[in-house]
Each structure stands twice: as C-alpha cells, then as structure tokens.
Amino acid sequence: MWYATIAKQLLPCFVLTVVQFAAALPWLWAVDPNSFRRLARRPGTWVNLLGAIIGVTVVAAVVMTYQRGASMMELFGRSYGALLHLQVAVDVFIAVFAVLLFAWPKGGAVALAAFREGIRTPWFWLIAVIAVFAFFVAMVFPFFTFGDDFKMMKQMCFDISMLAALVFGVLTASISINEEIEGRTAVTLMSKPVTRRQFLIGKFVGIMLSAFALTLLVGWFFNWALYIQPTFNPLDEAVDPLSVQAENALGPLALKASSQESRLFMQGLVKWLGEARANCDGLVLGFGKVMVLLAVAAALATRMPMITNLVLCMSVFFLGHLAPVLRRVSEQLRAQSPDNTALSLVNFLTQLLETVTPALEFFDMGPAIIRDTPVGLGAFELYVGSASLYALLYTTIVLLFGLILFEDRDLA
C-alpha cells in the first residue's frame, strides 16, 4: 500500500531533516545570540521546532515516494548536499571565531571586526559576482582541446578562485591597515589597551578569514559549474579521478538506503560531498598562495601606502613564479660555459632570489589536473597539507618582519 511505502521513507527523511536543522542552529545563534537564548529557554520553541521537523519529514517522504526519475532524485540529493555544504561552511567560521575570542580575546576581537568589515565591503561581493560570471563564461566557451575542455575549464576555475581571493585580500589589507594607521584609528585601539602585535596579527587573521570565506563562496558555485559543464560539451571526458575516489570513500552511505528512491537521493548527496571534498582540497592549495601574499601586503601596509604596496605585492607574485625558471635557465647556461664569471654571478643571484621569494609554484593545481596518471586522494591531501605548512611558515616569517616594521612606526 501507498502508506507503507511512505512509512519506509520516514526514518531516512527524518535523519536528513534533523541534520539540516542541527547545521542551522549555530548560524541562527550567531545572527542574534540574545534572542536565540531567550527563545531556547521557552518550551514552546522546541515544540514548534519538533513540529517543523516532523512536517518537513512527512513532505520529504511523500516527495521521495511519488517522485519518479533517477536524474531528478539525484538532483534532489545534490541540492540537499549543496545546502548542507553552505551551512557547514558558515558553522566552521562561527566555531573558529568562538575559539579565537575564547583563547585570544583582544586579538580575536580585532580579527572579528576585520572579518565583518571585509565581507561588508562592496568589492567582496563585486569580486564574487565577477568570479561566478567568469565560471559561466568558462563553462560555455569552447577551448578546442579535442576532449580536454573539462580539464581546461577546471584549471581556469581554480585559478579564478585563487585570483579572486588574492585580489580581495591584498586590496583589503593594503587599504584597511594603512588607513587605520594613517587615520590615527590605530591609536584609539592601542589605548584599549591592544598591543601592536594583537592589532597587526588580528587584522591579518580577520582579512585572511574573509578572503577564505570568499574562496569557499566562489568554490560553491565552482562545484555547480563543474556539474553543469558536461551538458555543453557531452563528448568531453568529464571524470575527475580525485572526486571519484572521494565518492567511493562515501559510497557505503548510499548503499545503506532502504529503497530505490532514497538510494538515488543518497547517490546525489554522495556525489556532491565527494566533489566538494576534492575541489575543496584544490581551493585550500590555491589559498596557500593567497595567504603568503596577504601576509606580504599586511607587513608592507604598516609602512607603505596602497599603490606602493600593490606594486610590490605584484612584483613578489611574478618573481615567486619566475624565480625557479630563472634559476633553471641560469644553471643550464652555466653548465654550457662553466668558466664564465658573469653566468656564475647570475646563477648565484637567481638562487638567492628563489630562496628569498616564496615558491608559489607549489600551490598550482595544474599538475594534478592535466597529468595522465590519476593522483591518489590520500597522497594529494598529504601534499596539500605539506604545502599549507610551507605557506604557514613563510607567512609567520613575513608577519614577524611586519611586526619589526610596525614596532618603530610613530602612531601619534
């Protein structure tokens, strides 16, 4: 009977509904903590919440029972995963700032203020819109690569995501930190009292987290672009080995579904989560480059105006990519003429330049995308972790240099 079929869907739909409501609680609390606490103390609030969960569960069970079509059920599962993805991303930022404010109250407050200022600026949303529009262009634009348009489009979208966060972060750090110092706003903060170390590192952390929020926001649309792109180029090879490996790791979730409809729904959910995991690894890898250059911009902003800061950051960006190439070319030329003193000097200078500038080629996703042999997901995530550790160490060194510059800066 129809009611028996609906009853089979109630438990999985109830679990999925509870997960969405649980993911919504942290950001509902963050929107208005006082009202959230007041409502949480009322028994009627929890009764209404339970009623809403039951209502959504019943509606979802009816939809799963009467909805026919594998593609539509899979799309429902993917949409559920996309919504859960957004909610979990917001929850992560709430948890990060809760830990920061607890462990580092003054610096955390500066970071929270910088984060709010960053996501409220018009260019945050303007850059996000431009990046999403660029995804759409890359999605429909033919690259004439004889079957590799999907790989080309994916590489371009990773670069666009990185550049969007980089432009936003460097601009915000160059303007915000320098304007607060030049406008004497920093003097007011120092009288709270907030130390110079707490001010500079707090501003850096807040701007970095706002740039990472932009990366995750753009990355969410990036996932949808990768899903839609094969419809424009159906003959291309649109299989991502990293995403497939992540989906296989989550495969048992779909197999545990009790009915065919719920199994299709879970397959869509698993595909979104697998793609999100694999693509998030690539976004984190590219964000290492953003973090390094953002630290350079924050350190220089303590002494230099915006225009000078932007020119120097652009120079570091190009030199970070060119230094390894210049070093390899100089070594080849020196091997051909070992007695040439000028080439020896050039080789020394290129080695020095490569040592001083950040190795930005470590943060490129291209080798993992275009190679013929698939990369193991575990090995790739290990590489992402090591590259992120390198970015963290380089960022720490640059910020220490920035603190030295800021220590002698006259704020009065």
Q: Are residues 292 and 403 in the same domain?
A: yes
* Co-location of 380 and 318 in the same domain: yes
Same domain, 149 and 12: no
CA distance 391 to 378: 20
Q: Do residue 47 and residue 180 come from a single domain?
A: no
In a domain, 115, yes or no: yes
The token pair at 277 is 């995991």
Question: Alpha-carbon torsion 59, 69, 222, 251, what sign?
Answer: positive
Count of the separate structural domains present in the chain: 2
Considering the domain architecture, whether residues 132 and 62 belong to the same structural domain is answered as no
pLDDT in 10s for each residue of the chain, 412 residues: 556 666 777 888 888 899 999 999 998 898 888 998 898 898 888 899 899 999 988 888 887 777 655 678 888 889 999 999 999 999 999 999 999 999 999 999 999 999 999 999 999 999 999 999 999 888 887 766 666 778 888 889 999 999 999 999 999 999 988 888 776 666 666 666 788 889 899 999 999 999 999 999 999 999 999 888 888 777 666 678 888 888 888 777 665 666 677 778 888 888 999 999 999 999 999 999 999 999 999 999 998 888 999 999 999 999 999 998 888 888 888 888 888 888 888 888 888 888 899 999 899 988 888 776 778 888 999 999 999 999 999 999 999 999 998 887 776 5
Report the distance separating Cα 208 and Cα 204, nearest Å.
6
Kindly tell me the sign of the dihedral angle through the C-alpha atoms of 109, 113, 115, 116: positive
Task: State the residue range of the domain holding 105.
Answer: 92-407
Asked whether residue 412 is domain-assigned, the answer is: no
Same domain, 60 and 162: no
Predicted pLDDT of residue 250:
78
DSSP category for residue 374: P
